[in-house]
Structure 1
Amino acid sequence: MRLFLLPISTRRSLIYCEKLHEKAVSERTLLDRLTIKANEIWAAWEKDEKAPGQWKRKITISGNAALKRIPYEEWGLKTIPTLTAKRKKAIVEGREKYHVMFPGLYLHQQKVPEILKKLATERQGMHRSKMIWSVVGMPFTAPFMLIPIIPNLPFFYLVYRAYSHWKALQGSKHLEFLLENGLPKENPSWELDEVYTAGLMYPTRQISRAVPRPTKQQAEEVARVVEQQTNEGTEDVMVLQRWNGKLIAEQFNLPDMEVEIERAVEQVQKSIKAKEELAEEKLELERATAEPGKTAKDTLPKHVIAKLEKAEKAEEDIKQKAGDVAKKDARA
């Protein structure tokens, strides 16, 4: 089984498990059948234009917006299957093979075990408590059953959230069990390095597909510049573009991976942007209270000013190098 550890930024990563083959109808559990049925109903509602006021489509639009706010870490853990007794025995006996693939130039191999352990254990308590509270809240949605035509949406939402937290909890326990048994095996992937580098070098998916794949030298240079931008690990820098999710999914023939990457990139970008806006507000406040003739930057400690100047220079360097590479490829 292949696991993918995909850095979204220099501090945050997405775990994704390659989807196993579809179970035969006879092998599906009751939960499997209910999940499939729910997905079919939701897909039908998205296309239904005959309901009065198109209430079904409006509900799915609002529902999809709510789903996008679920943390990408939860979505990632949900891709890891439940650890059955049969699979657990196979792992202990060494008959089950697991590999974790990651872009070695953008995620140092020595950090992989630490990140996997954090993903496996950090959110277990939260998923357990929220699953319980979702179940506790279900009886309180009974009054909504009195509304005609429209189903009891609050109840079904709590059912879904309870299931989602349970699934993420099972995925985290599976990953934790693997780590306790010396798995998965770490496999740095040059294919991932190529796609990551292309995403940082070129502005669009179309250009990335049209030009030659990045060379190892180009990839190492781009990775070095990204490392410089982090200011010795103090800054969080994006390393994955939203449009790049499709290329990664195509590279490994995993179409379901695309939406997981896009969701994670969007959430991390918003988080970093919010942090930057908070820093800007702080600078504005400092500017307002600064001494006459001084700027907000002047009021900062010297070591902070040095880091800011280093970051600005690193950002200019990566833009210039990417431009030089693009011009060279265009001439070729």
Structure 2
Amino acid sequence: MNRAWTGLEKAPPGTLKNRIHGLGLRLLAQVKPSEIFFKSISKEVTNVEVTYPSSLGARLVRRRLRHIAMRGTIIHKKYFYGSVSLLPLTTAFTVLPLPNIPFFWVLFRTYSHWRALQGSEKLLQLVSDSSWTLNSATGNVNETEHDESRHGIHNSAKPTWVLLPSKELEQLLHRGDGHDGLSKCAISDICKVCDLNANDVMKYRDSM
């Protein structure tokens, strides 16, 4: 699949292969940022650090993150099996004297959903851990909670995720808050502070 894509990319402008490559780029642009995010979470990830506006409650942030991870596992598992079921059908296009674009696209989507499923399951595993640490904006640990402590169960292991309330992020959010949500300027400022891709964040906002 990678060799076929490279061949399309190197095709001379104006050729059929070059147009197919352009179509592929437009299709790739439709992939949701959440899927790209889940794919970036490998099995080697051992902890999660979350920076959030200081006005939000830590428990709310944790529940929201667990919801995102759980929703990702459900969605990508469904699309993974759906893509797998389409693979045998797209092999019929191999009789054509052109690259089997439907097969390569479905194969890519199958792999992509599988990677996203693995990432979302890993994230869910990490944020479902009983131990967590709440840090102040300065990075000093000032609180540690265990969900099981009320039942007499204590986990002394190193927390798998850390919550970092940020006053700076809170100020940026209020500065750019409008009737239609955050402005592009506010999102751009937040992305600079948090080292994020502004285009991906805008794309994610528009997909919600």
User: Normalising by the residue count of structure 1, what TM-score does the alignment of the two structures yield?
Assistant: 0.45
Q: Identify the match of residue 25 of structure 2 among 48, 58, 64.
A: 64
Distance 1:263 1:224, change over 3 A: closer
Structure with a larger share of its residues in strand: 2
Superposed displacement of residue 55, structure 1: 2.3
SS at match of 1:123: helix
- 2:152 alignment partner in structure 1: none
Q: Give the Cα–Cα distance (whole angstroms) in 2 for the partners of residues 162 and 246 of structure 1.
A: 30
Q: Identify the match of residue 49 of structure 2 among 82, 100, 110.
A: 100
Superposed displacement of residue 142, structure 1: 2.3
Does residue 247 of the first structure (1) align with residue 192 of the second (2)? yes
Q: Give the Cα–Cα distance (whole angstroms) in 2 for the partners of residues 164 and 269 of structure 1.
A: 21
Distance 1:267 1:151, change over 3 A: same
* Contact residue 138 and residue 158 of structure 1 kept, 8 A: yes
Q: Give the Cα–Cα distance (whole angstroms) in 2 for the partners of residues 178 and 171 of structure 1.
A: 11
Q: Give the Cα–Cα distance (whole angstroms) in 2 for the partners of residues 267 and 101 of structure 1.
A: 18
Gaps of 5+ in 1: 1-36, 88-95, 197-218, 231-235, 272-332
Describe how 1:297-308 pairs up with structure 2 within 5 A. Answer: none
- Residue 105 of structure 2 aligns to which amino acid in structure 1? Y
* Contact residue 105 and residue 223 of structure 1 kept, 8 A: no
Gaps of 5+ in 2: 132-159
- 1:180 alignment partner in structure 2: 128
Q: Identify the match of residue 127 of structure 1 among 60, 63, 76.
A: 76
Q: Give the Cα–Cα distance (whole angstroms) in 2 for the partners of residues 165 and 117 of structure 1.
A: 19
Select the structure of larger CA radius of gyration.
Answer: 1
Higher relative contact order (CA 8 A, sep 6+): 2
- 2:206 alignment partner in structure 1: 269
Structure with a larger share of its residues in helix: 1
Identity of aligned residues (%): 24
Aligned CA-pair RMSD: 3.3
- 2:9 alignment partner in structure 1: 46
- 1:164 alignment partner in structure 2: 112
* Contact residue 33 and residue 203 of structure 2 kept, 8 A: no
- 1:287 alignment partner in structure 2: none
Q: Give the Cα–Cα distance (whole angstroms) in 1 for the partners of residues 7 and 50 of structure 2.
A: 36
Superposed displacement of residue 157, structure 1: 0.8
Q: Give the Cα–Cα distance (whole angstroms) in 1 for the partners of residues 6 and 85 of structure 2.
A: 28
Does residue 154 of the first structure (1) align with residue 102 of the second (2)? yes
Q: Give the Cα–Cα distance (whole angstroms) in 1 for the partners of residues 58 and 183 of structure 2.
A: 16
* Contact residue 50 and residue 164 of structure 2 kept, 8 A: yes
- 1:237 alignment partner in structure 2: 181
Aligned length: 178
Q: Give the Cα–Cα distance (whole angstroms) in 1 for the partners of residues 64 and 182 of structure 2.
A: 17
- Residue 172 of structure 1 aligns to which amino acid in structure 2? S
Q: Give the Cα–Cα distance (whole angstroms) in 2 for the partners of residues 105 and 44 of structure 1.
A: 49
Distance 1:144 1:44, change over 3 A: closer
* Contact residue 68 and residue 263 of structure 1 kept, 8 A: no
- Residue 85 of structure 2 aligns to which amino acid in structure 1? V
Q: Give the Cα–Cα distance (whole angstroms) in 2 for the partners of residues 57 and 139 of structure 1.
A: 26
Superposed displacement of residue 226, structure 1: 5.1
Q: Identify the match of residue 78 of structure 1 among 34, 39, 60.
A: 39
Q: Give the Cα–Cα distance (whole angstroms) in 2 for the partners of residues 41 and 106 of structure 1.
A: 50
- Residue 247 of structure 1 aligns to which amino acid in structure 2? K
- Residue 161 of structure 2 aligns to which amino acid in structure 1? P
User: Normalising by the residue count of structure 2, what TM-score does the alignment of the two structures yield?
Assistant: 0.69
Q: Give the Cα–Cα distance (whole angstroms) in 2 for the partners of residues 102 and 74 of structure 1.
A: 20
